[in-house]
Structure 1
Amino acid sequence: MDKTFYNFLGIHAQALTINELNLLIGAAVKQNQKWIIANHNLHSLYLYHHQKKMQTFYAKADYTHIDGMALVLLGQRLGLPLQREHRVTYADWVWTLMTEAHQQKWRIFYLGSKPGVAETGANILRDKFPGLEIKTNHGYIDSNSESPENQEILSQITAYQPHILMVGMGMPRQENWILDNLEQICANVILPSGACIDYVAGAIPTPPRWMGRLGFEWLYRLLSEPKRLWKRYLVEPWFILKLFLQEFLTKQLKIN
């Protein structure tokens, strides 16, 4: 599969659809690879420019898809061949991913969410996909790589031998955890997956999908969790707008 990265706003990402991402997972399993399939949205873009460790993480990622219509729209304005189907968020992807996992008998280990939430979500998925192999552990752990609790989690993952490891601890904690433990992680595909299972479990309300397609999912999330997300959606975008204008004007000057 084409591994071409598009460079814009100081980051690099690929134009990957849900179907292409599922094919990548299948390839990793068939070839017995260990791939990180990361994602970028406006929040990760902001963190990338402010945290060295996030830059290191994305340098380690084998593939990086776009999770955010805003990035697709900004990329289009900068002349990139990005389409709406290249915006892949876990609220949409999780169902086709689990369908594929069920059919292909991929084992999934999910690390993340509050105690009880991950297992609630996993039970919902097991009911919808009978026979789905999914094991969970909450993400409220001592994430120091050398802590006994962290080593126990890694032992559980190794014993389970998952094809897919989903880490849903929120940015940048999930990326930091993956980076710190990468050498000990036993899985074909590692997915930093944010609030994926929280949506499945109903712990966080899922935005109407039409809002996501139009690029207004952020507004729904802001209204749902204003105390937690106000900075992400009302402050960080100004930094990203500055990046966009600098790059846009530079391109225009080159054209003229």
Structure 2
Amino acid sequence: MVTENFEELTILNTRFHKLTVCQLIDYIVISANVEKKTIVSNVNVYAMNLAYELPWFQDFLNSSDLVFCDGFSTLFGAKLLGYSVQSVHRMTCPDYIENLVLACEKQEVSLFLLAGKPGVVDKAITKLTSIAPKIRIQGHHGYFEKSGAENDLIIQKINEFKPGILYVGLGMPLQEKWILDNINRIEARVFFPLGACLDFYTGSVTRAPRLLTNIGLEGLTRVVMEPQRLWKRFLIGYPLFLYRVLRQRIGGGVTTKL
């Protein structure tokens, strides 16, 4: 499967692809069986704002092999610019990680999880192997020095395992920077930066009720739960993103007729 099969959308000079979760899983598993390093990234409003402000991060997204949408507000921005998108074109990891692991088990694709506080990966592996007992899976927590001897040991552990998929959940944009700094040293095929997915999947961080996640209000719940850390990202970042998109639209950024 190649990305030419997916429509490419551009917001604020940052591009992502229009696809469904089934297409995403197929792409990842197929890529993991090809002897080539592939980067599968994702965007939400926070990522779009970072890309607007950090040229290296925008370059990372625009040079990734596939970029999917993990945010209803990003889809709304795309609609404002004339793109035809629906809720099925947004996907968030805790909702599909088990289907991804089942597909990996079926296609004999191995998975290495690099994420979270100590203990989170262990919980995730226990849950995932309960539904996919034949999956080859290892992991390590994300609380390590990102350079020097400790980083070298992490890379050595990954290379000894040689995963088909390397899940990197260090938080955005640290995880992308870590991939950039180390990809040439790592023997993995698919590099998959996914933030706090395992925290939500394992219940280490409480997720918003399904009703709220389905209508795009998960971010509001996260602000209520972690106001000191996330208030700026959501309460300032979302209006700022909308302002920038509207400015692009007024400036001639509409791509097709609504």
TM-score, normalization by structure 1: 0.93
Query: 1:6, CA displacement in angstroms?
Result: 1.2
Query: Helix, strand or coil for the counterpart of 2:25?
Result: helix
Deviation at 1:127, TM superposition (A): 1.9
- Whole-Å Cα distance in 2 between the matches of residues 253 and 132 of structure 1? 45
Q: Which amino acid aligns with 1:162?
A: P
Residue aligning to 1:161: 162
Aligned to 1:38: 41
Q: Residues 122 and 197 of structure 1 are in contact (CA less than 8 Å); yes or no, is this contact kept in structure 2?
A: no
Q: Which residue of 2 aligns with 1:221?
A: 222
Does the aligned pair in 1 maintain the 2:81–2:249 contact within 8 Å?
yes
Q: CA deviation at 1:209?
A: 2.8
Partner AA of 1:169 in structure 2:
L
5 Å-filtered alignment, 1:49-68, equals: 49-68=52-71
CA distance in 1, matches of 2:34, 2:195: 26
Residue 212 of structure 1 and its aligned partner are, at CA, apart by: 2.1
CA distance in structure 1 between the partners assigned to 2:152 and 2:41 by the alignment: 23
Distance in 2 (CA, whole Å) between partners of 1:137 and 1:76 is 39
Write out aligned runs for 1:177-196 (5 A).
177-196=178-197
Task: Give the counterpart letter for 1:126 in structure 2.
Answer: T
The percentage of aligned residue pairs carrying the same residue is 32
Q: Is the 8 A contact 1:91 1:206 kept in 2?
A: no
How far the C-alpha of 1:97 sits from its partner, in A, is 0.9
CA distance in 2, matches of 1:230, 1:161: 39
Alpha carbons of 1:253 and 1:112: their partners in 2 closer, same or farther (altered >3 Å)? closer
* Inter-partner Cα distance in structure 2 for 1:252 and 1:68: 20
Structure 1 Cα separation of the partners of residues 60 and 234 of structure 2: 23
2: CA distance, partners of 1:84 / 1:23? 19
Deviation at residue 20 of structure 1 after TM alignment: 0.7
Report deviation, 1:220: 1.5
Q: Which amino acid aligns with 1:203?
A: S
Post-superposition offset of 1:252: 8.5
How far apart, CA to CA, are the structure 2 residues paired with 1:86 and 1:34? 25
CA distance in 2, matches of 1:106, 1:243: 40
Task: State the one-letter code of the partner of 1:241.
Answer: L
CA–CA distance in structure 1, aligned partners of residues 137 and 191 of structure 2: 14
| Residue identity opposite 2:145 in structure 1 | D
Gaps of 5+ in 2: none
Secondary structure, counterpart of 2:49 in structure 1: helix
Report the counterpart of residue 78 of structure 2 in structure 1: 75
For 1:106, the equivalent position in structure 2 comes to 109
- Cα distance in 1 for partners of 2:70, 2:82 equals 19
Q: Which amino acid aligns with 1:22?
A: I
Counterpart of 1:25 in structure 2: which amino acid? I
Aligned length: 253
Q: For 1:107-155, what per-residue CA distance to the aligned partner results, in whole angstroms no more than 9, with x for missing partners? A: 11011100111111211211232222211111111102xx111111111
Supply the AA of the counterpart residue of 1:63. L
Question: Which amino acid counterpart does residue 88 of structure 1 have in structure 2?
Answer: M
Cα deviation for residue 226 of structure 1 reads 1.5
Cα contact 2:165–2:192 (8 A) shared by 1: yes
What SS does the aligned partner of 1:235 have? helix
**One-letter code of the match for 2:81?**
L
Which residue of structure 1 lines up, in the alignment, with residue 205 of structure 2?
A: 204
Distance 2:33 2:142 in 1: 29
- What is the CA distance between 1:60 and its match in structure 2? 3.0
Q: Secondary structure at the match of 2:166?
A: strand
How far off is 1:218 after superposition? 0.8
- Post-superposition, which runs of at least 4 consecutive aligned residues in structure 1 deviate over 6 A? 252-255
State the secondary structure of the residue aligned to 1:204. Answer: coil
Which range moves more in the overlay, 183-192 or 55-64?
A: 55-64
Q: CA deviation at 1:253?
A: 9.4
Task: Supply the distance in 2 between the matched residues of 1:177 and 1:60 (Cα, whole angstroms).
Answer: 16
Q: Corresponding residue for 2:173? A: 172
Deviation (angstroms), 1:52: 2.7
